[in-house]
Structure 1
Amino acid sequence: MTDVESLLHPARLGPALATATADHRWATFDARLIAGGKSNLTFELTSAAGELILRRPPQGPLLPSAHDMAREARVQRALAQTSVPVASVVYAETAAQTLDTPFYAMEKVAGHAIRDTMPTGYATAPADRHKIADALIDTLADLHSIQPAAIGLDDYGRPEGFLARQVARWRKQSLASRSRDVPALDALATALAADLPASPPPGIVHGDFRLDNCLMDPAHPGRVAAVLDWELSTVGDPLTDLGLLLFYWPQHGEPNIPLVPTVTTQEGFPPRSHLLSRYAERTGRDVSAVPFYEAFARFKFAVIIQGVAARSAAGMMAGQDFGEVESDVIMLAEAGLDALGAA
């Protein structure tokens, strides 16, 4: 059961939204937790004035550098002036005031968030599903083509030594959130740190770019309506986004990975090789080191689901339960070692 009162403090949030929007109808609202959020909590707010989406961290102690609402709001506001589609930020608090934690509210964008099934009647033709894949990879290529300094994000990250810090950071996150040792995951972290490729020129990195973190235009399958969930964004090695997208793009006949959408196994969705070649063509980047980035994606996702399970067990995920994931973490670690040829 979601405790809206303690998570959203309606008596305080309503007046704050009314002031920010200059619309008194936001003084009172209804709230619904949107299922599927595995890290930050996402609510749909409804009032006589319309609808907004609110993002806030989970309750309880948080891991260092995680759940940074100020970064999410900042990057979306910066990208609003580019061709990368994002939701407009309506209100943001970077200090723990109204909700006793930083948060932000943004417009609700009409679109399909596609996970394990296709919306009824949507993109039923193979050609339309191919368009979805092309729109996704083209949006990622467009994001990576933006010069951070051109939109005020020159200080948004530290690209020098990015990959080494990423491996170290996610290993630290694993140690902070695990309930027991996972030797295979530690071995993967060691192997990744020992085999770092030379990074391409830095770009804006989404950090969790995948189909279900984008809203697809309901009328045009070949258009991304908005890219969501910018919690892990930074400036760094753009191929980390590509490796993660490929990881999140299972093909027909492959085993299911818990918490990873399976819709791309359906007829009409092109294979990962198509995404890879289209990205290379659109960006002109050398993608020969992609196996490393795919291995890193497995490491990162294994750590993420460790954290999800830990927060769920601690009652920090508004009643959402994601079950036991230890065997899945081991499977992902071993797959990452295989990708590196270090098994």
Structure 2
Amino acid sequence: MSGTTGDLGDGAETGELLSTEELAAVAGVMSDAGTTPAAPLTARLIAGGKSNLTFRLTDGASSWVMRTPPRAGRTPSAHDVVREYRVVDALGPTAVPVAPAVASYAEEDLIGGAFAICDFVEGRTVQTADQLADLSDAQVTSAIDALTRTLAALHAVDHVAVGLERFGRPDGYAARQLKRWTGQWEIVGEHFSGDVRSAADRLAARLGEGLPTQHATGIVHGDYRLDNTLIRTGAGPEVTVAAVVDWELSTIGDPVADVAMMCTYRDPSFDLIIGSPCAWTSPRLPDAETLAASYESAGGVPLRDFDAHLALAHYKLAVIAAGIDHRYRAGATHGAGFDTAGDAVGPLLEAGLRRL
């Protein structure tokens, strides 16, 4: 829900462009919400093609970022930009850095889909190993400290006080996650080897026998790592988080699971899912245990039953990778990461078993 000076679009199809009439309608929604553009809006697609489309809007003086679903190929429950906007709007007055919320529109009559708009936030993304190479060791250390402090601040937010009491079920988070991903595995896991399927069955069974107890409840980002933030750097070593972005998977749940998912993304197999060396798997970053300790030192919730949470997170990521592979085999995807994602499934399952 924010912009970055480093965003690169995947390329726009004709159907992803906004007409003058559609931009005028968007401006009307902004005006109704109290932000009136000084001139007719123009739009540039800065990210799109695989998830929600992200446009940078400008009136020549100010800039905003608009998120809207793809106009074709979306499923009813996915791409909920208005729900994403809701959590960003709620977090605006808190210590969690987010892009200031401007307006949202839930209907599809104006531009063919719902949309949500926030202020443009200047910052940089660090998604790839090459982008991480631009940071000094001192800046990497500072960035990780800022990242874990920000996650601790998110988990300290009283979700009821900020109006998110009904944003998700507060209890039984691990059980719901295990049920969801075992069901998904039944759909996408059938073509894997017997050893991989056996590992999946053993991990799911052991998780079912000893699910972690939920000791805390809070806002869960669901996809938290360095490349889902915008950071700011200066002449010195200090790095700050300008905004946390990509709230599509956010809900109310167990904060420990959020930390576990962040740590699980550090597994080298994540590169196979992405399709290229990414910043978050770099050996320049701390290992999972050090990340977890940094989070707790920053005032995060106690990481009880953390190995069980890590095992569940590995299972979840393995099933996600299997799903990508499933779509690739069906001919429904193309591009980097789709042809190698299946290779990540076995190692992730084995890593999950080792955590138990």
TM-score by length of 1: 0.83
Other structure's SS at 2:273 match? coil
Other structure's SS at 1:147 match? coil
Indicate the residue corresponding to 1:189 in structure 2: 204
Indicate the residue corresponding to 1:99 in structure 2: 111
Q: Is the 8 A contact 1:59 1:316 kept in 2?
A: no
Change (3 A) 1:175 1:235: same
1: CA distance between counterparts of 2:322 and 2:68?
20
Indicate the residue corresponding to 1:238 in structure 2: 255
Indicate the residue corresponding to 2:216 in structure 1: 201
Q: How much does 1:247 deviate?
A: 1.5
Q: Is the 8 A contact 2:318 2:348 kept in 1?
A: yes
Q: Is the 8 A contact 2:155 2:300 kept in 1?
A: no
Establish whether residue 216 from structure 1 lines up as the match of residue 231 from structure 2.
yes
Indicate the residue corresponding to 1:229 in structure 2: 246
1:128 to 130, 139, 148: 139
Change (3 A) 1:250 1:327: closer
Q: Is the 8 A contact 2:15 2:71 kept in 1?
A: no
Change (3 A) 1:227 1:279: same
Unaligned regions of 5+ residues in structure 1, if any? none
Q: How much does 1:13 deviate?
A: 3.0
Indicate the residue corresponding to 2:4 in structure 1: none
Change (3 A) 1:193 1:97: farther
2: CA distance between counterparts of 1:104 and 1:315?
32
Q: Is the 8 A contact 1:94 1:102 kept in 2?
A: yes
Alignment of 1:274-293 (within 5 A): 274-283=290-299, 285-293=301-309
Unaligned regions of 5+ residues in structure 2, if any? 1-9
Change (3 A) 1:102 1:172: farther
Amino acid at match of 2:44: A
1: CA distance between counterparts of 2:183 and 2:105?
28
Amino acid at match of 1:197: P
Indicate the residue corresponding to 1:154 in structure 2: 165
Establish whether residue 25 from structure 1 lines up as the match of residue 39 from structure 2.
yes
**Alignment identity in percent?**
35
2: CA distance between counterparts of 1:225 and 1:105?
17
Q: Is the 8 A contact 1:250 1:262 kept in 2?
A: no
Deviation beyond 6 Å, 4+ runs, structure 1: 311-317
Q: Deviations over 1:164-196 (max 9, x none)?
A: 112212333445566846724454334323321
Other structure's SS at 2:65 match? strand
Q: How much does 1:223 deviate?
A: 1.3
Indicate the residue corresponding to 2:6 in structure 1: none
Establish whether residue 10 from structure 1 lines up as the match of residue 25 from structure 2.
no
Indicate the residue corresponding to 1:247 in structure 2: 264
1: CA distance between counterparts of 2:108 and 2:329?
25
2: CA distance between counterparts of 1:213 and 1:255?
15
Indicate the residue corresponding to 1:116 in structure 2: 128
Q: How much does 1:139 deviate?
A: 0.4
Q: How much does 1:157 deviate?
A: 1.2
Establish whether residue 265 from structure 1 lines up as the match of residue 300 from structure 2.
no
Change (3 A) 1:154 1:227: same
Amino acid at match of 1:334: E
Other structure's SS at 1:148 match? coil
Q: How much does 1:320 deviate?
A: 5.3
Change (3 A) 1:255 1:166: closer
Superposition RMSD on alpha carbons, in Å? 3.2
Q: Deviations over 1:143-169 (max 9, x none)?
A: 101111111111111122121112212
Amino acid at match of 1:95: E
Q: Is the 8 A contact 2:131 2:279 kept in 1?
A: no
Alignment of 1:172-187 (within 5 A): 172-175=183-186, 180=191, 183=197, 184-187=199-202
